[in-house]
Structure formats: C-alpha cells, structure tokens
Structure 1
Amino acid sequence: MQQPKKSIKDWAPDDRPREKLLTKGSSALSNSELLAILLGSGTKTKSAIEVAKEVLDLAENNLNKLGKLNLHDYMKVDGIGQARAITIAAALELGRRRQATEAIRPVIQSSADIAHYLQAQLADKNHEVFLVAYLNRSNKIVHTEMISQGGITGTVADPRVILKKAIEHHAVNMVLCHNHPSGNLKPSKADEQLTQKIKEAARLLDMTVLDHVIVSEEGYYSFADEGLL
C-alpha cells in the first residue's frame, strides 16, 4: 500500500522553504523552493515544491524560458489554477521590471546603455515589439512607449504616433528599438526604410533620432554605431 506523501509541515524546520528563508536568507533557496513559497501549498498528492518543480520543468528549469510562457502554459501543471498562474506571472514581471530599473543609467551615453535597458524590457517577448525611448536634452530617458506589437512596418510604427508621444513628454531626442525573437540581429530593408522615415519626420519638429537599436538574447545592433543614421 502506497504511503501518503508528507506535507511540507512534516519536514524538518530547516528544510521548509519559509523557515529556511527566515534563517538563511532568500539566496539560500533553490528556484523550486522560492516558487513553492509563492504557490503557498501543494495538492492532496504533491507538496508545493513538487508542484513548483513541475512548473520549472515546463521551461527546462530556465527562468528566462519560464518568463516567456503564458498563463495557460502554467495551468497545464496539476495544482496550478488561474490564481496561482497569475501569481507566477506577476512575480516574473516584478523581476523583469527590477532588471530594467537596474540596467538603466540616468543619462544615456552610448548604444550599450540603451541596449541593456531595452533588452531587459523585451527579453521575454516571443513576438516583435516596436518601442521608443524618449529623452530630454541631457539624454536622460523621460518616457518609454510601446508603439506596436507583432511586426515592424510603416503601418504599425506610425511616425505620427511616435512624434505625438514625443511632444506629450517634451522629448527632444529619441531612440527607436525593436526586438528580433529569432536572435538574428541584422536589420531588414523595412527596418532601414522605417528608420529613415521617422528620422526625417522628427527633423521637421527639431527632434533627433539618436539611434535605432535591435535587441535579442544574442546581443544588440546599433544603427548609429554602424553608420546608418
């Protein structure tokens, strides 16, 4: 006859995730233990840690891959309902925002500065996203705006929308950005044409497009660094 599974409450205090965090700090916990704390409890047949491990298995124990999954993916695991799936997604988003905050410097001084900031924002996107960072005269970011998702053409990245947002936020400079989920950093002809179109439109309003940065998990490509602006 199969023995009933022990709940976490039956474990030695040092092995319980919450108690372990209290006594040893969060860095001492494994990913599955941290996730188990978020879940709060397991099921009738599985502990919270076992459920957490199954969630991590969905992404091959890779947190970056886990962040790319959606709510329905998490809910494929027995013990993960909508509420728990939302909790996981919220925790990953907080981590993403923290990374973006830490990556940015007060003033953008190079393509690497803006690329690292934008990589943090777009790292988990499985589709193309067009984003614009708006800067003041000191090249400090005053606002970022996601202009479109799903592709990059003149119809979805409308210069009029981009410039309207620049005026609203009193920006004088801007950096265009989009991601390539495939990892290929080479710009297409459409990328180059759109960049020039926005650059010329901005010039009419005494605004400057400082760069167009393509980011992926492999790195980044800067139009300015490559002499395309």
Structure 2
Amino acid sequence: MPVNYEKVVEIVRLKQVVCESTLEMQKITSSFGIAQWLMDEIGNETQEVLMLLCLNTKNEVNSLSVVHRGTINQSIAHPRDIFQRAILSNATRIFIAHNHPSGSHQPSQNDCLFTEKIKQAGELLGIELLDHLVVTSNSYYSFREEGKL
C-alpha cells in the first residue's frame, strides 16, 4: 500500500500543540520582549516547559508551540522535536525557551549543552537559533545577551 505523504504531514501538523497568543505574527525585535511575555506565560509553571517560537524571514512569529513538559527540574527534548516543528512552519529562525520552577534563571550545564546542540543542528538545516531563554516568574537569562550564542 503506497504511503500518502500529504496525510503524514497533516498528521504531524495536527500533533503540534500551538498556543493561541497575541505574540503570533508579531515582529520580534529583542529577546527582552519575548522574555517578558514568557515570564507571564510559563514563569509560574510547576514543571519545566520547553517552548519554541518559529519566525519567518520578516522576524514575525508564525508558530508558537510547547515542545515538551517535563518534571520540576528537567525537560528532556530532542533536537528533532524542535526542528520538525520549525521545518513544518517554514521557519528561517527560532527562539527556544524554558522555565525554571526553582526560581533561578541561571542555566544549568545541561541547558548550555542543549543550546549548543540546537545551534549546531540549526546551522546544518539553515535555521538560525536566535536565542535560548531561561525564565522564571520575574527574571530571565538570555544566551544571546550573555554572549553565549
């Protein structure tokens, strides 16, 4: 039986969890603006939430999704989970972000390693990682602003 690839793509799209937000189709001009929105959106979550913002060539958010919900102190996601969504949304650039329920916005060693993996995978695919944000309810860490990207 032949595979209907159009249906496969539609099924994958349906599996995306997209957040309804005024952020979609907004032009992104800084990490600070996104961080402010994310502090309100996921800063108070009791488990780690990894989010992906996919941007088009005009730096407008064309897709916003929850990639993974983890435990109180970790969220395990694979680069393919991120780039599958980015490719399906025709993204040219992405932001990734997650919260730290502990209240500390400082990235862990695993956060740093994950950021480097995503950056390298993006370079191979032609999808630029603009920033990785770690947020709490009242603070954030930007890998870009700290010179780590």
- What does residue 56 of structure 2 align with? 136
* CA contact 1:214–1:220 (8 Å) conserved in 2: yes
What letter is aligned with 2:140? Answer: Y
- What does residue 204 of structure 1 align with? 124
What letter is aligned with 2:37? Answer: Y
* CA contact 1:128–1:181 (8 Å) conserved in 2: yes
Q: Give the Cα–Cα distance (whole angstroms) in 1 for the partners of residues 109 and 49 of structure 2.
A: 17
- What does residue 43 of structure 2 align with? 123
Report the number of matched residues.
128
After TM superposition, the structure 1 stretch with the greater mean CA deviation from structure 2, 209-218 or 143-152, is: 143-152
* CA contact 1:105–1:113 (8 Å) conserved in 2: no
TM-score (normalizing by structure 1): 0.52
What letter is aligned with 1:199? Answer: K
What letter is aligned with 1:195? Answer: T
What letter is aligned with 1:161? Answer: D
Q: Where does the alignment leave 5 or more consecutive residues of structure 1 unmatched?
A: 1-96
Give the drift of 1:226. 0.0
Q: Deviations over 1:128-173 (max 9, x none)?
A: 11111111111111111111111545xx211011111111100010
Q: Where does the alignment leave 5 or more consecutive residues of structure 2 unmatched?
A: 1-19
Which gives a bigger RCO, structure 1 or 2 (Cα 8 Å, sep 6+)?
2
Give the drift of 1:105. 8.1
- What does residue 106 of structure 2 align with? 186
Q: Please list, as runs of the form range in 1=range in 2, the aligned pairs for 1:91-170 lying within 5 A after superposition.
A: 101=22, 106-151=26-71, 152=74, 156-170=76-90
* CA contact 1:104–1:113 (8 Å) conserved in 2: no
- What does residue 15 of structure 1 align with? none
RMSD over aligned Cα atoms: 1.8
Q: Please list, as runs of the form range in 1=range in 2, the aligned pairs for 1:15-54 lying within 5 A after superposition.
A: none
What letter is aligned with 1:158? Answer: H
What letter is aligned with 2:104? Answer: N
TM-score (normalizing by structure 2): 0.79
- What does residue 222 of structure 1 align with? 142
Q: Give the Cα–Cα distance (whole angstroms) in 2 for the partners of residues 168 and 176 of structure 1.
A: 16
Q: Which has the higher strand share?
A: 2
